[in-house]
Structure formats: C-alpha cells, structure tokens
Amino acid sequence: MATAGTLLSHVYPIGARLNERGVLELGGCDALELAREFGTPAYVVVEDDLRTRAQAFVEAGRAAGHENLAVVYASKASACTALLRLFAQEGLWCDVASGGELHLALAAGFPAQRLLMHGNAKSREELRLALRHRLGLIVIDNLDEIQRLAGLLGGEEGDGAGGPAQGVLIRVTPDVRGDTHEKISTGQANSKFGFGMDQIGDAIQRVREIAGLELQGIHAHVGSQLLELEPFRRAAQQLAQLGVFPTWDLGGGLGVAYTAAQHPPAIEDYVGAVVGAAREYLGEHSRLLIEPGRSLTANAGVTLYTVESVKRNVSTWVAVDGGMSDNLRPMLYNAGYEAEIVDRFGGDTACVLAGKHCESGDVIVKDAHLDDPRPGDVVVTPATGAYGHAMANNYNGVPRPPVIFCSGGNARLVVRRESFDDLTFRDVI
C-alpha cells in the first residue's frame, strides 16, 4: 500500500499528495474531510492548478516569440461562474458555443471583446445576443448563418444594425484526421462543422459582401483529446492554401492523461508546435488563436464518491453513489479512468467501479485496483475536471453534484449540490 509522502502521478491535480495520515490531499485539503463537509459525489477542483495551466499557455506563447497569441478557453469543457472568472482574471479569452454559455461567460465578467461564439446551429436569438454585445468574434459555420447575420445587421428586426462592424471568422474543415475517438473527431471532410475546403471561397465572398461584418480570418478544429502534435501542423499547412488573413484560429484539442500510462504533449510543446506551424505556413504577423478546453481543466479536477455496496460474483463490483449522471465519458467514449480509495492508495483487489444507475453499462472504471473496498470508503477518480460537470445530467433523478474549489487548505463551494426540489422546480403541474 502507498504511504504518506507518496508522489501522485500527473493524472492528479498539481500539488496533490498523500498527507501524513496517508490521505489524499487536494489544494491542501484532506479528501476525507471534504467528503464529510460537502457530501459525495462531489467535483473537487484545485484552483492553483487551473491558474498554473492558464499561465503556462500564455507564457508558452511568449516563449515561442509570438506577439499576438490569444488563448481562448473552450468553456464547454467546464463552465461555472467561479471557474470562468478565474480564467477571465488570467487574461484568457472564452469560447462560448451557445446562448447559455454566453450568459455564463458574461456573468463571470468576461469582457465581450474577449468572447468568441461557436456553433453549427446558432439560432437567430443567439446571433442577436452576440451582435448586441459585439463579441470579439463570431465563428461562422454555414450559409444559413451568413443570411441570418445579414438580416439582423440589415436592421430587418431593428436589432444588431449600426455600431462597429462585427468581427467574424469562417470555420473550415481542413480535411485532417487526428487519432481520436470518432465522436470527437471534427477535421474530416464529412463533418457537421464548418465549410469544406472547396466551399470556403464562396463563403468568404458572401461574408465580404455584407456591410457590418468584418472578415478577420479562418478557424479550424481538428478534433479533441489529440495526443500527437502532427495533426495541428497538418491543419496549418492545409489552411495556408486559403490565402493571407489577419487572424487564424487553430481550435482546441490538446489531449490529457486520464491514466498514468498516458503521456500527452506538454502545454509548452503544444504551443511551441502550433506557433511554429503558424509561423511556417500562415505568416509571421497574423494574430493566432488557440482554443484549449480539456487541457486547462481536466487534471485540475477529481470526483469523490462513497462506496455503497461491494458484491462478488464473476467480478468484484464496487458500487458508488454516482456514475453516468456525473461522468458520461465512459459510457459515450469508452473512456478509461483510474480510481483509488482516498485513505488507502495502491490496493490490489481487482474490481469494477460501478455507478448507481439502472444500466449495466454504467461502469466508471472497468479495471480498478482498490485496497479491500468496503461500504463507506471514499473513492477518488482523477482527471474529471473537463466534460464531467459540463455533461452532468439527472438520469434516474439523481441530483447533480456540487463543485468545490480548493486552494491553500481552504475549500469553498462554487456550485451547490442540486436538491430533490430542483428536480421538480421546472415542472408545470
């Protein structure tokens, strides 16, 4: 069994360790005490980890010698006011992919000029909102959207017209395939996102014809959870065919480690590679945008669960008080995670960490190794800080967990746990 002082792998938040009692410590807070104070399941996020990674992106841009790199946090990875406020303070931009994410980013204090709106099905209402705030950039995805923007800017509905031009990018599918799960691959020609390489010329021309829109450049996103840098390079190479633009946005996608065996590129190496490719193919002086989501938040966060039952048949089933309602990723992408009992790290009982939901597929970790798990044990799954809380749901009427920020030994609730009343709150009886 692992003992006090054992260093934890890079899958855990920066600074996470086993304290002198052999208990997992996150942001200086004892995980058992967190579970006692806030209940489980709970998302625990280490604030300093978020800041360190945000600063690493910005500093890597500087170190690579790029004068004009904007780090745009893709808020779909994890969005609550406290987290967005932190990234706003660190000087990042924010990518919103819906009116709701725009609402969250504005509530967190992001200035509109540092917001960029995405979406392949933006509604008139979402576009109207974006224009009213004159966001830094709107990324145009399709011809219908161009028409909708033209209508709004033409004063068709007395809104959006007048004022400074709205900066836009046009999204292209660069026809580059990265090695990732099919469901999170976007750069291939047959994608629901953006214009094909053969269609973008027409889109550029149409956008340029609309008074009130200022075409600043091109956007491409190859895919998500990419563990190699080559696809980013190939995307930049593809984009070079499109001409010269003041702004290029190379999307997000840098992968993270979910298990200790995974070794994704470091933030510095990723930024260095992207800046290098931009310099080589897209020109020295254009503004460069990148949109990291997962790589800013995934490893900063963990989930704490309590074991409810341990059953032995062909396998040993360790069932906890959460599951696919707080982490959909195993179910959706067959994603692998690690698990440990927070005060008995390093066990060797092979078991399946199962969720509480009414589906056989609700398994959080297929091949966990725990130290003699028993009901009441508190279990941690690391690397749940991205696309965990963001994709949480109420399946089986399970209230969504709280989000707790930890820093310097202090823990604070930043999103409260849903109550049963929240489940009936919106019902019209």
Give the footprint of ligand LLP on this chain (CB under 6 A).
74, 76-77, 95, 118, 184, 221, 224-225, 251-254, 291-295, 329, 333, 387
For ligand LLP, the closer CB: 184 or 227? 184
Instruction: Please say which residue, 288 or 307, places its beta carbon nearer to ligand LLP.
Output: 288
Catalytic residue among 29, 94, 351, 358: 358
Closer Cβ to ligand LLP, 278 or 370, answer by number: 278
Closest separation in Å from C-beta 45 to ligand LLP: 16
Q: For residues 271 and 278, give the distance between their C-alpha atoms in angstroms, rounded to a whole number.
A: 10
Q: Report the alpha-carbon distance of residue 83 to residue 105 in Å, rounded.
A: 10
Q: Are the C-beta atoms of 357 and 323 separated by less than 8 Å?
A: yes
Find the shortest distance in angstroms from Cβ 295 to ligand LLP.
6
Whose Cβ is closer to ligand LLP: residue 40's or residue 186's?
Answer: 186
Query: With the C-alpha atoms ordered 293, 256, 223, 231, is the resulting torsion angle positive or negative?
Result: positive
Number of Cβ within 10 Å of residue 205's Cβ equals 10
Least separation, in Å, of the C-beta of 391 and ligand LLP?
6
Helix axes 124-133, 143-153, angle to 10 degrees: 50
Residues 354 and 362 sit within 8 Å (Cβ to Cβ): yes
Report which of 277, 279, 282, 278 is spatially closest to residue 241, judged by C-alpha positions: 282
State the Cα–Cα distance between residues 55 and 260, nearest whole angstrom: 24
- 358 part of the active site: yes
The nearer residue to ligand LLP, 224 or 299, going by C-beta atoms, is 224
Which phi-psi region, left, alpha or beta, contains residue 86 (left: φ > 0; alpha: ψ -120 to 50)?
alpha
Nearest approach, Cβ of 363 to ligand LLP (angstroms)?
A: 16
- Cβ 253 to ligand LLP shortest distance, Å: 4
Tell me the CA distances in angstroms from 161 to 213, 280, 376, one per residue in order: 11, 39, 60
- By annotation, the residues acting in catalysis are 358
